[in-house]
Structure 1
């Protein structure tokens, strides 16, 4: 008997709150907060009717792939070898630079600029894609090291230029 009375009282309270302005004010407040972050429901449809967004792409620019550590090791070995001899600070700059560009993912393509691979090769700026470049981390790293040396001298100089201009 007591349980039935408690359930009846709870149902009465819920019905009263739902019918009152409190629930409307609460729902309007939630909708306003959702709209502040450009969430669903800021147009013709209410936020509770919004469809689930599409699944994201498997990779996004700069998210890295499963072979990131292998690619970094290739890059570190190539940078430390002749003719570059880039270690310590220069390696730190190169790692930071290419991590920012592609997360060392040889298969990445920036949908905005068209830059490709670990080194951010952009055909619009750098010309035709070198032979064997697509999908080959070692080919990309070789081209990137050579380009950095010929154009900027060192990875730190290239990274500083990229940080100030967004290109290299």
Structure 2
């Protein structure tokens, strides 16, 4: 039913989907995290498959493709898949977060951090190419990136972004924390970065 409902929204048009998601997100009132939720975060349960999030990702890809096709017909430049936030997003009990003063995203440095973490998740050097391409497609390796269609956030594009709290409370602003969560998500969901990249190539999301 969730997927059917989301598909119906997308059929109305990519713009309507984006507007609805933006409106819904603006109306979210942060609520305290329950002890049960803290337990899930501590146990890493947020790496598990999330059918609702998957449906949003799929609908976002469809909406983006519709907008891209519509703009191409009008001779208008395609809307970028992501937008760069000036504050870390809130939600699920987390307030918005300011980025450290004077800090700027550094995709090159973020890639270096990811390379050093690969082996700790059991991934060999041969997996690097897949990971590099996957997160370049998803976020440009920018820790402040948000998908303007689905609301997914961060380098690995977690949906919602607060799932990354399982890797650290600074998930909104710290690239290393986002990378740590993302590698855990990939391992738990797809086995390897190449497995995740293959799924992304086939479906448009991972």
Choose which of 85, 93, 106 in structure 2 pairs with 1:67: 106
Flag as ranges the 4+ runs of structure 1 deviating above 6 A.
none
Instruction: State the alpha-carbon separation in 2 of the partners of residues 37 and 73 from structure 1.
Output: 40
Equivalence for 1:38:
74
Residue 105 of structure 1 deviates from its aligned partner by 0.1
- When the two structures are superposed, what TM-score results if normalisation uses the length of structure 1? 0.57
Mind listing any 5+ residue stretches in structure 2 that lack a counterpart? 1-71, 85-103
Alignment of 1:3-152 (within 5 A): 38=74, 61=82, 66-79=105-118, 81-88=119-126, 90-123=127-160, 128-130=163-165, 131-152=169-190
Matched, 1:167 2:205: yes
Distance 1:127 1:87, change over 3 A: same
- Structure 1 vs Structure 2 CA RMSD: 2.9
Residue 77 of structure 1 deviates from its aligned partner by 0.8
Equivalence for 2:35:
none
Contact 1:101–1:118 (CA<8 Å) still a contact in 2? yes
Contact 1:118–1:141 (CA<8 Å) still a contact in 2? yes
Contact 1:62–1:99 (CA<8 Å) still a contact in 2? no
- When the two structures are superposed, what TM-score results if normalisation uses the length of structure 2? 0.47
> For this pair of structures, how many residues does the alignment match?
111
Higher relative contact order (CA 8 A, sep 6+): 2
Residue 132 of structure 1 deviates from its aligned partner by 1.7
Q: Which protein is bigger by CA-based radius of gyration?
A: 1
Mind listing any 5+ residue stretches in structure 1 that lack a counterpart? 1-35, 41-58
For residues 76-118 of structure 1, the C-alpha deviation after alignment (integer angstroms, 9 at most, x for no partner) is 1111x32323312x10000000011011000011111101110
